[in-house]
Amino acid sequence: MSTYRATENYVYETDECIGRGATGDVYKGVHKKESAKPILVMELCEKGNLLEVLREPSNAFGLPEEEYLRFFSHLVSSMKHLRQNGFSHRDIKPGNILVYVYNISDFGTTKPLKDGDFFQSLVGTEEYLHPNIFKAAFIERHRPQEFDISVDLWSLGATLYHTATGKVPFQPFHGSGDKHTMFQMISHKESGVISVEQTSATGDIIWSKELPKTCRLSKFSELLRCD
């Protein structure tokens, strides 16, 4: 049985699925002709996404400084482009950043959002969620709330920390499944705190304003603050 599928402008093979997201699958395709409809064209990023890169043993403590600065420059440019065109991504995280140049991907949750605009839908990924969205999604589920463009900035800060250190900044001992401890970590932190540690299931929450000693960056810690 043929695994080839076609649209008006592209041919792709379903055996070559190169990515999956909440809103669809991604296949390697071949272009047939130009389309009259708006389409998103990107490079084929054969190295995968940033989360896969961070899972490599050599990056267990984050990217080396030269590569981190390249990533930082590309990510800031991508965020600036989105903002200048009036969009909020709403799910910034390493798994949604492709490695060729570091391109933001997975626009299934992207929404046109100007300064002063709000949205109510609960989207994003737990470890990178703004505290207000986390609260609405898991703590006070029956209280409608509104959110603005600042949610992307929180997710950006969490992504920058993860990339610099190899781990997410806020994680209970039992992982993100411990919703109440997770919420305490992200909602009660003081200004300047960039990470939290819990070394046992009933252990204290230990706040930190410094990068871990295992981090491979020699400077730029101020870039990682997500107040």
Concerning whether 152 is annotated as a catalytic residue, the answer is no
**Long-range CB contacts (within 8 A, 24+) of 195-201:** 195/161, 195/165, 195/169, 195/170, 196/169, 196/170, 196/171, 198/171, 198/172, 198/173, 199/173, 200/173, 201/173, 201/174
Q: What type of residue sits at position 153?
A: L
Q: What type of residue sits at position 116?
A: G
| Count of positions (residues) in the chain | 227
Q: Find the catalytic residue in 25, 91, 106, 117.
A: 91
Q: What type of residue sits at position 154?
A: W
Residue 24 has phi, psi (to 5 degrees) of 165, 175
Residues carrying an active site annotation: 91
